[in-house]
Every structure is written in C-alpha cells, then in structure tokens.
Amino acid sequence: MRISVEQLASLVNGTVEGDAKAYIENYSKIEEATDGCLTFLANPKYTHYIYSTKATAVLVRKDFKPEHELSTTLIRVDDPYETLAVLLNMVSSQEPAKKGIEQPCHIAEGVEIADDVYVGAFAYVGSNVKVGNNVKIYPQVYVGDNVTLGDDVILYPGVKVYHGCKIGNRCILHAGTVVGADGFGFAPKEDGTYEKIAQIGIVILEDDVEIGANTTIDRATMGATIIKKGAKLDNLIQVAHNVEIGDNTVMAAQVGVAGSTKIGKNNMVGGQVGFAGHITVGDNNGFGAQSGIPNSVGSNLRVIGSPAINALDFARNQVYLKRIPQMAQDIKQLKKLVDEIKNEKQ
C-alpha cells in the first residue's frame, strides 16, 4: 500500500501538521518506525518516542501539544488507536479472500454451502449444519451436527464447534478454540466416585464476538452458555457451563469463569482473573490482573486483588506492605525502650 499523508488523513477525517505530500508505505510501532511508516501515539508512556521516531507520520490526538521540536508529520484525530484500527482493517480487507472447497474434506449431505464460502482441506462439516454467506472454515476445523454459522464467520485452523451450538454473524474463532465441550458436571456418590451429569445444553455466540486461540467455552447443563454481542475473549480463557458474558465485555488471557456466573456488559477484565461460580457481576467494571472475585459485584467499580477490593484501597495497602519491615523494626525498638523504662522503675 502506498498513499500520501494527505490522502490518508482524508480517509480518517484527520488534519495534517507537516509534510502532507509525503508517502506512507507501511505501519510500525513508534519506537521501531522507519521512513515511509505510519505510527500512532495513544499511551502517554510512549510520548518521548515522538521526538526521536523516524516515522514519516504519527497519528496523535487533536489536543496533543509537543514540548520539543518534531521531525515527523502529525495527523491529528479524535482517537489515534481507534483510527489505527480502522486503517489496519482497510489494509486487511484488501488481501485476496479465500473461496471454494478444498479436498479432501467432509461435508455431510444436505448442507447448503454458498458460492462465496471457503472450506479448507481436512475440515469436517456435520449433518444439518447451516452455513451463512462469506463463511471461512479453515483446514482441520470440526463443525458438529446441527450447528448454525451466521454470515461472515471465520473459523481458523483447528477450531472445534460441538453439535447444536449457534455462532452469530461476523464472529471470529481463532485456532484451537473449543466451543460446546461438556461442562464440568459430576455428582458425588456415597462410595467416593462421581456420576457424570449429562450436559444437554448448547453454546450461543451472538453477533460480533471474537474468541482467542485455545479458549474453551463449555456447553450448558441445560439451556445455553451465552457470549453476548460484541464481547471479545483473549487466548487461553475458560468459560464454564451456563455462564453468561454481557455485551462488549472484554477479557484478557487466562481468565477463568466458573459455572452459572452472570457477567454484565462493558466490563474490562485483566489477565488471570478468576470468577467464582453462581455469582452476578454488574456493568462497566474494571478488574485488575490476577484478581479473585469470590462474591457478586455491582456496577461501575474498579477492583484488584484476591479477594478483590477497591483499586485505590489496594494501592494504599501496597504502600503499607512495603513499610512492614521498617514498622517491625520500629516496634522492636519501642518494645526494647519500654522494657528499659520498666527496669529503671523497678
């Protein structure tokens, strides 16, 4: 891709400050950019790089005020990170789309496959599967009987979608994702063994859900495990049976959600957070990495720790923890002083 700074700015409703006639040929991180690259500045921690970057142009916020002289051209936009996402999606959409059915693969009789669908070699598509338009099923994908795939779904290599599950429009499942394996349901018996409880429910992914590599979403015991519209799950996440994850909630890697927990919309969940089972989580919360959530949580909170507490309280506690060695020494000295005073009085 080769485009002038002026043309690129017009695509994103940005204003140019610098050489509008320069050309962009690639994208790069601000600290690694070279001539011909477009980069962006969204995190204040990286501001110092803008004064030394070799990038031809940098996406910045409209209110950005440089403190030193710049050698790069600025493209001022409302949100640099969101703008970069739009541009990268434009680049990605220009790549040739895969179409057609590769062999060998198995497509059961009666499955309707549109002309614009791609099915890779060694994929398996079971009976009564409904496949939407522009679906991409990459090699070694398994799609079980009675599964529904909406329009523009992408199943990357090695994805497994068990029988009966429903995948909405524009969902993306990355390599190794498993949707619809049995929930972890076992009834203890008097002799110390366990009786398996049949998991007869399904998994529903609503529209615009994206699931990272090697994430597992268990089918419900009864009813459905539901990932609601616009939710984004990172790699290596475990979602147990009968869980609900609300609209536009995002989860970083290695989060674990135990059975029957209901999580609301617009939550931001850091890596390795653990949610106990059978609890309810409200909307618009932020959960710091490695937090443990043992009980139900309201809305509009920022928490961290295990068990999780208010983020400001956690920060204060961390300061006190660092002082404990000195406090212990002070207490020891005070005790010694008290003992000396007692001895003098005797």
Q: Catalytic site residues?
A: 241
Q: Which residue has the tokens 């609601």?
A: 228
| Type of residue at 44 | P
Nearest CA to 100 among 130, 139, 126, 146?
139
d(CA 85, CA 77): 13
Q: Which residue has the tokens 């366990």?
A: 194
Nearest CA to 151 among 172, 134, 126?
134
Tokens at 334, concatenated: 């005070």
